């Protein structure tokens, strides 16, 4: 029997092999967390762009690019909401 020592004590080889078998499950969790993080970043970036564009447009500092920035922000927000809704729908249907 192979025994590996870690910070908490000893770990049997059977426990180690069982944890190796669960690695694909962890990849799925990591992937879903990464996608959720990217959706949240997309939403936050869209909000920031919309606010900056509104400030540019309202102050007359750069009216033309301000409008474009607002549109870009709204598109990012819409994409994040749609992709989040699709992800929730897929998880609900498959789970």
Closest among 55, 47, 91, 94 to 72, alpha carbons compared? 47
Residue with the larger pLDDT of the pair 85 and 75: 75
pTM of the model: 0.65
CA 37 to chain centre: 2
pLDDT bin (cut points 50, 70, 90) of residue 11 is low
Residues in a beta bridge with 10: 5
Spans of all domains in the chain: 63-95
CA 61 to chain centre: 34
Q: Could you give the 3-state DSSP secondary structure of residue 32?
A: helix
pLDDT digits (tens, 9 = 90+) for 41-72: 888 999 998 988 888 888 887 777 888 888 99
């Amino acid at each position: 029997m192979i025994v590996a020592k870690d910070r908490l004590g000893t770990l049997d080889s059977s426990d180690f092999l069982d944890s190796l078998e669960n690695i694909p499950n962890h990849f799925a969790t990591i992937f879903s967390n990464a996608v959720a993080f990217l959706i949240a970043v997309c939403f936050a970036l869209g909000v920031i762009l919309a606010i900056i564009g509104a400030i540019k447009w309202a102050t007359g500092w750069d009216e033309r690019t301000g409008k474009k920035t607002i549109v870009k922000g709204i598109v990012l927000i819409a994409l994040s909401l749609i992709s989040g809704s699709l992800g929730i729908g897929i998880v609900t249907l498959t789970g």
